[in-house]
């Protein structure tokens, strides 16, 4: 057990472990090249990773890099592992959060459904849900239907139909600021 007041206890976590942390940097990945890549990157997540790799390449420790870029120590280790696998291409290509659930509908079925939604055939999500269940044999929740419609860049909602007894002339007059006279205040 190391006493809390000993100098060894105050060392960074990477110095406490048995292995020395080293990265085999690729030939073109100098500190200047990594800095240029970091400054040119527009994707925030990738930019943060490149910032961390640049700082590591410039000689900073893992714990310093984690503190500067605002991530956990283990996250910086993960970035280095990605770099070791395939260089900057892998670091740039990784997406956090996983791949997500496999879609219930194939791309061809989604395209067909998007075309049907575009015609205005469905007025409610429940109608879309029933159609998908009948046609494709897939069961969606209402929330899943609206997520699907958003993913397909479709707007399943259409304006409500006007009531059969509504007076279009009175409605248009109301929209222009006029009134039918029935609601006028007595003088």
Count of structural domains within the chain = 2
pLDDT tens digits, one per residue of 18-57: 566 788 899 999 999 999 999 999 989 999 999 999 999 9
- Reported as half-sphere exposure (CB side, CA atoms, 13 A), residue 169 has a value of 1
Q: What's this model's pTM, rounded to 2 decimal places? A: 0.48
Query: Is residue 3 in some structural domain?
Result: no
First-to-last alpha carbon distance for the chain, in angstroms, is 93
Let me know the angle formed at the C-alpha of 13 by 10 and 18, rounded to the nearest 5 degrees: 110
Say if 20 falls within a structural domain. yes
In this prediction, residue 4 carries a pLDDT of 45
* 160 inside domain: no
> Within the chain, which residues score under 70 in pLDDT?
1-20, 97-99, 155-159, 178-187
Domain membership of residue 134 (yes or no) is yes
Q: Is residue 63 part of a domain?
A: yes
137 and 67 housed in the same domain: no
């Amino acid at each position: 057990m190391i006493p809390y007041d000993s100098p060894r206890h105050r060392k960074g976590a990477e110095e406490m472990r048995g292995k020395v942390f080293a990265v085999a940097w690729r030939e073109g990945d100098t500190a200047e090249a990594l800095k240029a890549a970091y400054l040119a990157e527009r994707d925030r997540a990738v930019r943060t990773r490149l910032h961390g790799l640049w700082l590591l390449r410039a000689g900073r420790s893992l714990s310093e890099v984690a503190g500067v870029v605002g991530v956990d120590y283990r996250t910086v280790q993960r970035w280095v592992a990605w770099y070791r696998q395939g260089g900057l291409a892998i670091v740039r290509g990784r997406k956090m959060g996983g791949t997500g659930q496999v879609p219930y509908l194939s791309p061809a079925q989604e395209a067909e459904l998007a075309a049907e939604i575009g015609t205005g055939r469905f007025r409610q999500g429940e109608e879309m849900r029933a159609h998908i269940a009948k046609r494709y044999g897939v069961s969606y929740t209402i929330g899943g239907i609206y997520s699907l419609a958003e993913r397909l860049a479709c707007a399943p909602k259409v304006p409500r139909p006007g009531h059969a007894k509504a007076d279009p002339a009175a409605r248009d007059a109301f929209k222009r600021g006029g009134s039918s006279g029935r609601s006028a205040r007595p003088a």
